[in-house]
Amino acid sequence: MTPRIVGWSGIYQGRGHAALYGKRVNVVAVRKQLPPPEEPLRITSNDELAALGGIGKDDRVDVAPALADGTFGDVVADVAVQDIDNASWIFNPPPPDSHIG
Protein backbone atom coordinates (compact mmCIF):
# COMPACT_ATOMS: atom_id res chain seq x y z
CA MET A 1 0.00 0.00 0.00
CA THR A 2 1.38 3.39 -1.00
CA PRO A 3 0.94 6.03 1.72
CA ARG A 4 -1.15 9.11 0.99
CA ILE A 5 1.42 11.83 0.29
CA VAL A 6 -0.59 14.47 -1.60
CA GLY A 7 -2.70 16.22 1.03
CA TRP A 8 -0.45 15.23 3.95
CA SER A 9 0.82 18.06 6.14
CA GLY A 10 3.65 18.46 8.61
CA ILE A 11 6.14 20.98 10.00
CA TYR A 12 8.92 22.08 7.63
CA GLN A 13 12.34 21.62 9.24
CA GLY A 14 14.66 22.10 6.26
CA ARG A 15 17.11 24.90 5.64
CA GLY A 16 16.37 25.55 1.97
CA HIS A 17 13.39 27.83 2.59
CA ALA A 18 14.02 29.93 5.71
CA ALA A 19 10.56 31.55 5.57
CA LEU A 20 8.93 28.12 5.91
CA TYR A 21 11.10 26.84 8.77
CA GLY A 22 8.93 25.71 11.70
CA LYS A 23 5.69 26.30 9.80
CA ARG A 24 3.02 23.76 8.91
CA VAL A 25 3.05 22.91 5.21
CA ASN A 26 0.70 20.84 3.05
CA VAL A 27 1.98 18.60 0.24
CA VAL A 28 0.21 19.57 -2.99
CA ALA A 29 2.33 17.56 -5.46
CA VAL A 30 5.23 15.14 -5.77
CA ARG A 31 8.06 15.83 -8.22
CA LYS A 32 9.00 12.33 -9.37
CA GLN A 33 12.62 12.30 -10.51
CA LEU A 34 13.18 10.80 -13.95
CA PRO A 35 16.45 9.76 -15.58
CA PRO A 36 18.36 12.69 -17.16
CA PRO A 37 17.78 14.62 -19.34
CA GLU A 38 14.07 14.37 -18.46
CA GLU A 39 12.49 16.95 -16.16
CA PRO A 40 10.77 15.71 -12.98
CA LEU A 41 7.18 14.61 -13.41
CA ARG A 42 4.76 16.67 -11.26
CA ILE A 43 2.15 14.37 -9.74
CA THR A 44 -0.93 15.73 -7.94
CA SER A 45 -2.83 12.47 -7.38
CA ASN A 46 -2.04 9.74 -4.85
CA ASP A 47 -3.45 7.16 -7.26
CA GLU A 48 -1.12 8.31 -10.05
CA LEU A 49 1.80 8.32 -7.61
CA ALA A 50 0.98 4.74 -6.55
CA ALA A 51 0.79 3.66 -10.21
CA LEU A 52 4.30 5.06 -10.71
CA GLY A 53 5.72 3.12 -7.77
CA GLY A 54 5.25 5.63 -4.94
CA ILE A 55 7.68 8.22 -3.71
CA GLY A 56 11.44 7.70 -3.80
CA LYS A 57 14.14 9.20 -1.60
CA ASP A 58 15.30 11.44 -4.48
CA ASP A 59 11.81 12.75 -5.26
CA ARG A 60 10.78 16.17 -4.00
CA VAL A 61 7.44 17.65 -2.99
CA ASP A 62 5.68 20.94 -3.63
CA VAL A 63 4.31 22.34 -0.38
CA ALA A 64 1.98 25.21 0.47
CA PRO A 65 2.38 26.99 3.82
CA ALA A 66 -0.42 27.23 6.37
CA LEU A 67 -2.01 30.66 6.70
CA ALA A 68 -3.19 32.33 9.92
CA ASP A 69 -6.80 31.28 9.27
CA GLY A 70 -5.80 27.59 9.08
CA THR A 71 -6.06 27.27 5.31
CA PHE A 72 -3.06 26.75 3.04
CA GLY A 73 -1.63 29.34 0.65
CA ASP A 74 -1.57 29.19 -3.14
CA VAL A 75 2.18 29.74 -3.47
CA VAL A 76 4.21 26.53 -3.35
CA ALA A 77 7.85 25.70 -2.63
CA ASP A 78 9.81 22.70 -3.90
CA VAL A 79 11.35 20.88 -0.89
CA ALA A 80 12.85 17.51 0.01
CA VAL A 81 10.23 15.32 1.67
CA GLN A 82 12.79 14.44 4.36
CA ASP A 83 12.68 18.11 5.46
CA ILE A 84 9.14 17.68 6.78
CA ASP A 85 8.86 16.36 10.34
CA ASN A 86 7.89 12.75 10.83
CA ALA A 87 8.45 11.96 7.14
CA SER A 88 10.08 8.64 7.99
CA TRP A 89 6.65 6.94 7.78
CA ILE A 90 6.66 7.67 4.04
CA PHE A 91 9.64 5.39 3.46
CA ASN A 92 8.68 2.93 6.23
CA PRO A 93 4.89 2.80 5.96
CA PRO A 94 2.91 1.79 9.05
CA PRO A 95 0.78 -1.36 9.05
CA PRO A 96 -2.44 -1.07 6.99
CA ASP A 97 -4.60 -1.00 10.13
CA SER A 98 -2.91 2.10 11.57
CA HIS A 99 -4.34 5.62 11.21
CA ILE A 100 -1.19 7.18 9.71
CA GLY A 101 -0.84 8.04 6.05
* Domains in the chain: boundaries: 9-91
Q: What are the C-alpha distances in Å from 34 to residues 40, 55, 59, 89?
A: 6, 12, 9, 23
Give which of 24, 20, 26 is closest to 7, Cα–Cα: 26
- Separation CA 69–CA 85 (nearest Å): 22
For 82, counting Cβ atoms within 10 Å of its Cβ (0-12 exposed, 13-18 middle, 19+ buried), the class is: middle
pLDDT tens for the 101 residues of the chain, in order: 566 889 999 999 999 999 999 999 999 999 999 888 899 999 999 999 999 988 888 899 999 999 999 899 999 999 998 899 877 767 665 555 555 54
